[in-house]
Amino acid sequence: MLMQTADTNATNGTVGQPITYEKIPTQIFADSKEASTAVALEIAELIRKKQKEGKMCVLGLATGSSPKTVYAKLVKMHREEGLSFKNVISFNLDEYYQMEPDSIYSYHRFMKEQLFNHVDIPKENYFIPDGTIPPAMLREYCISYENKINAVGGLDFQLLGIGGNGHVGFNEPGSLINSHTRLITLDHSTRAAAAMEFGGLHKVPRKAITLGVAPILSARRIVLLAWGERKASVIRSAVEGPVTERNPASYLQAHTNVSFVVDESAATELTRVKTPWAVDSVVWDNKMIKKAVTHLSQSLRKPILKLTDKDYNDNGMSDLLAQYGAGYEININVFNQLQHTITGWPGGKPNADDTNRPERAQPAKKRVLIFSPHPDDDIISMGGTFQRLVDQGHEVHVAYQTSGNIAVADDEALRFIDFVVDFNNGFGIDSPAANKLFLDAKEFLKHTKDSEIDTPEIRQVKGLLRQGEAKATCRFVGIPTKQAHFLNMPFYETGTVQKNPIGEEDIKIIENLIEEIKPHQIYAAGDFADPHGTHKVCWDAIEAALERCKHKNYMKDCWVWLYRGAWAEWDIHEIEMAVPMSPDQVLKKRRGIFKHQSQKDGVVFQGEDAREFWQRAEERNSATALLYDELGLAEYEAMEAFVRWRF
């Protein structure tokens, strides 16, 4: 569902007019799929309009995860609705330098796989910067690339993504508004964000060719896409902040026909979403009250029970007081709600009044199914709760949804195979097959090119390595390895970061496991920051399976709890169950994470955060506990938080 677009001009607060802080029209959709469909329809309409006029349609196209669904929708319209691209000329924003066009990391290959190979655009009509141009010819090449755009009349439509530091194209912070197509040195944060695709930061190119800010702004229409909470802060800065080279996306404020298209997660820092009562009148239901009061408490750095009527009046919440009376009564209500989320019994406390507890007392011993997208998400994201459930006598199963094989470094795989060979030799086991596997793997990894993916044998070795680490964690926590289920969902097994869409087989695997265990509790990863990431796809499969199972009798007694990963936590007003941990429990969780040795001391997909996963998890858990403490509740060493998902 499309939410109302903000006005582009701020008002002075006149009665009847909502105040807006947004300087760029911003459309908020429920999710990236709906948003992408809307953008694809706009592009298709433009193409058809130009066709009727007998004109070429000149598109500026982006790469990365954000536009993938847009391209998929355009391909579908081509196949099912006859949308033709014969009158389309396209220019891509950027390309890594130096980069061979057939590399699995190149934007040439990306665009062909995502769009060009599936539609009828003539090969001579699409242009992508050449990452192989000799250095001495770069300046001339960049000028000619921009001249080609001008020669066809300029860009009718420019599609953009946005980097975590505000870059558009590869115009990094510091780029000037009048910058043109050029070679640029990539910011460290940009390279870190791309490390996942490249299999490590050290493999990410340091430079790229990018269309400049000036030719981007010359497009007659611009649409910028942003998905996920990781983009929320930079979106707010670009939309509501000053125009600055520190956030190149803010230059778009100067364009007369631009829209930001974001999902709800990417919009969370916008004023109208974060503090809607400061922008317009709101419906003061319980959810809004809890959000407003916790925000007020955090902003003023005052415990909830110390908030005064003056605090409410001074911060745009006078109508809440008028509707519900004294602030103290509101404070008590919200404080009690937060207090009731805290429990040391995540599976429910037997023989206890559960009226105000997040979980049911019965059945006293529950069957619990923890879904872990990768082989370490269970212990990283909810290791303390996992341990509590086991210690309190519940039958806990863990379902590792994917093999996680692409996150294993090549030298780790070789070390693993080498051990098998040495083991066989040490015990007199004649295994020519193991010896051959080692030699073949060593030779392949020594000469592999960027355009090649790991062999099936190497991927299997990497998967077995991670499977062994997951089993070690289960033994450490205290469950038999027969309760560890390795699902190896097919969508993941492509050998590259780019995965297939979930299919019937993926959903059926989840459905069959739920049917087998008949759980009273399900825990699943609910961090959907990147809608094209593994966690989101894994959840989509779970959700589809739950939809099929929900009418069965055993599902009537099943509750689903969502946890988040090592990078972010639920907002305090969203949390419905908070499981505290003592200092000793935090250390035990750390030791459980250490069982995943292949993910320590140089993680393949480090991301922008240089810390190891145990450090990220501990910081997140301690921050959650500190927040409860600052709001005036009990002080704990750490907390893991959950939100209940309802059928």
Query: Given a cut of 80, is residue 217 above it in pLDDT?
Result: yes
- For tokens 């908020």, what's the residue? 28
Reported as a pLDDT band with limits 50, 70 and 90, residue 201 is confident
Is residue 4 predicted with pLDDT exceeding 50? no
For 490-537, what is each residue's pLDDT tens digit?
A: 998 887 766 778 899 999 999 999 999 999 999 999 987 554 478 888
Look at the block and give the residue holding tokens 């930001």.
260
Nearest-angstrom CA–CA distance, 332 and 289? 12
Write out the E strands in 373-483: 395-400
Task: Report the pLDDT value the prediction gives residue 536, as an integer from 0 to 100.
Answer: 85
Say which amino acid occupies 110.
F
Nearest CA-CA partner of 126 in 159, 154, 181, 88:
88
Mean pLDDT value across residues 573-593: 97
Measured between its terminal Cα atoms, the distance across the chain in Å is 20
439-469 pLDDT per residue, tens: 888 888 777 765 578 888 888 889 999 999 9
pLDDT digits (tens, 9 = 90+) for 354-407: 999 999 999 999 999 999 999 999 999 999 999 999 999 999 999 999 999 888
89, 125 in Cβ contact below 8 A? yes
Spatial neighbors of 517 by CB under 8 A, at least 6 apart, are 367, 369, 397
The CATH class that applies to domain 367-408+451-645 reads alpha beta
Q: How far is CA 498 from CA 33, 199, 406, 492, in A?
A: 17, 12, 11, 8
For the ranges 12-16, 31-35, 265-269, 336-340, the one whose mean pLDDT is highest:
336-340
At 520, list the tokens.
């009273």
pLDDT score for 437? 83
Query: Structural domain boundaries of the chain?
Result: 27-259, 277-341, 367-408+451-645
Per-residue pLDDT for 241 more than 80?
yes
What pLDDT score was predicted for residue 12?
A: 35
In this prediction, residue 1 carries a pLDDT of 34
Residues sharing a CB contact under 8 Å with residue 563, sequence separation 6 or more, in sequence order: 381, 382, 385, 523, 524, 525, 526, 527, 640, 641, 642
C-alpha span between 381 and 185 (Å, rounded)? 35
Instruction: For residue 543, give the 3-state DSSP assignment.
Output: helix
Distance CA 270, CA 27 (A): 11
What residues contact residue 149 under an 8 Å CB cut-off, 6+ apart? 58, 60, 91, 155, 215
Confidence of residue 412 (pLDDT cuts 50, 70, 90): confident
pLDDT tens-digit readout, 302-320: 999 999 999 999 998 999 9
- Residue 553, SS3? helix
Residues annotated as catalytic are 172
Q: Is the pLDDT of residue 604 over 70?
A: no
Token pair for 635: 């002080």
Looking at per-residue confidence, does 284 or 202 come out higher? 284
Same fold across 27-259 and 367-408+451-645:
yes
Residue type, 153: G
Q: Which of 88-92, 181-185, 326-330 has the lowest mean pLDDT?
A: 326-330
Q: Which two tokens stand for residue 577?
A: 């169950």
For 126, phi then psi, to 5°, come to -120, 140
Instruction: State how far the alpha carbon of 168 is from the alpha carbons of 162, 173, 177, 476, 507, in Å.
Output: 5, 10, 12, 46, 36
- For the chain, give the percent of residues with pLDDT over 70: 94
Please list, in sequence order, all residues whose beta carbon lies within 8 angstroms of the beta carbon of residue 576, skipping any fewer than 6 positions away.
341, 358, 642, 643, 644
pLDDT score of 414 = 86
Q: Which of 305, 193, 168 is nearest to 250 (CA)?
A: 168
Query: Could you tell me the sign of the dihedral formed by the alpha carbons of 594, 600, 603, 609, in that order?
Result: positive
CATH 3.30.56.10 fits 27-259, yes or no: no
Question: Mean of the pLDDT values across residues 290-313?
Answer: 97
pLDDT of residue 531: 46
Please give the pLDDT value at position 602: 56
Q: Are 48 and 23 in contact (CB under 8 A)?
A: no
**CB neighbours of 170 closer than 8 A, spacing ≥ 6?**
93, 94, 184, 186, 190, 208, 209, 210
pLDDT surpasses 90 at 209: yes
What's the pLDDT score for residue 6? 40
- What does pLDDT average to over the chain? 91
Q: Are strands 258-263 and 182-185 parallel, antiparallel or unpaired?
A: unpaired
Provide the pLDDT for residue 447: 74
Q: Report the alpha-carbon distance of residue 376 to residue 475 in Å, rounded.
A: 14
The confidence score (pLDDT) of residue 607 equals 52
Strands (E) across 128-193 are located at 157-160, 182-185
248: DSSP letter: G
Tell me: pLDDT of 200 over 80: no
The one-character DSSP state at 370 is: E
C-alpha R_g of the chain:
27
